[in-house]
A and B are shown apart, each in its own frame.
Chain A
Amino acid sequence: MASLRDDEFMEKIAKAVELSESDQVPARLRARLYSALVQQQAQTGPLMSLSETSARGHQLCVFEQLVRIVPVGERAKSLNICRVCHARVLAEHLDKPPIYWAGCPYVEFKKS
């Protein structure tokens, strides 16, 4: 009997209380999630080349733009160049990283 009452009590509490939280994901976690995903994508083969990415209408950051226009093969343009960018490092460790240029996903994460 007692456990039935306890069970009913818990059912009512659970029904009445949503435990969801209103917190927004910290910008540095967004940055880490993105880095981890792209890193995993890169491990299984080349990323979409920067030429194609640009042709699809996406804005590239200044560093990506540079790689896109230099006369190197598409393979080099399909590397995960964020891996060697200081913007990534800053964004993964700071919620308000001092990075500002357009087209960089890490800058966008800081805004959202």
Chain B
Amino acid sequence: MHRLEQPDFDQREKIGLSAAEDSELVTAVLRKDRKATAEFVARYADALYRYVRSRLAPRYDQVDDLVQEVFLTAWLSLNQYRGAGSLQAWVMGIARHKVEDYYRERLRAPESIEDADLDPDKSTSVPEIHRLVEQDQLKKNTQRVLAALPEQYRLVLLWRYWEKASAREMALKTGKTEKAIERLLARARAEFRERWNHGQSS
């Protein structure tokens, strides 16, 4: 279950789209009705763009290409859409896979990050977070820290904690051992926390 963006994935009810309307649009796009294709883009581009952008930040240079890849894949697989869920949820599912592919590819690259010295005594008073920082500030801090991390650390944290992939899944998809992923995660978490604490104190 992917929590992030999930509430926006199934917007059929929210924006008043019925299963019949989804199905009608799919049929028209499959028949290569160019105006329906324009509607397909207009309807889902914003949600896809926001999702992909949030998952690739701060590598915004890759966002446009990945969103385009999602649309092209959606078109190529559209005849497999059965209408079990909303069309938006289906399209967002493709986007999730594309983001995972991106993470996988980037994490497959040989690790260039030195092992960080992990100090087992370092700790952060986690339960205090909500009381200490307002939600908006929390988001800003998180984005700031994630953006400052080395790419491998950032991707592995996004994949594990925001996309809810297990270390085992990540290992299978990247061709690394589960142990290697766990080590990478441990270093990434430690680095995240260190930068977080540094930001809090400065």
Contacts and interface: CB of A to CB of B under 8 A. Distances in A.
Contacts of B121: 2
B198 to A, nearest CB: 14
Interface of B: 3-5, 8, 28, 31-35, 37-38, 40-42, 45-46, 48-51, 53-55, 57, 64, 67-68, 71-72, 75-76, 118-124, 126, 129-130, 135, 138-139, 142-143, 146, 157-158, 160-162, 186, 189-190, 192-193
A14 B185 CA distance: 14
22 contacts: A5-B123, A7-B189, A10-B160, A16-B135, A18-B5, A18-B139, A19-B55, A20-B50, A23-B49, A23-B50, A24-B49, A33-B41, A33-B45, A34-B38, A37-B37, A37-B41, A42-B32, A47-B33, A48-B31, A53-B34, A58-B33, A80-B34
Given A2-B119, A22-B50, A37 B124 contact: no
Given A7-B189, A21-B53, A13 B68 contact: no
Nearest to A60: B35
B68 A32 contact: yes
Interface string A11-49: 111111111111111000110111011101110011110
Interface of A: 1-3, 5-25, 29-30, 32-34, 36-38, 40-42, 45-48, 52-53, 56, 58-59, 80, 82, 105, 108-109, 112
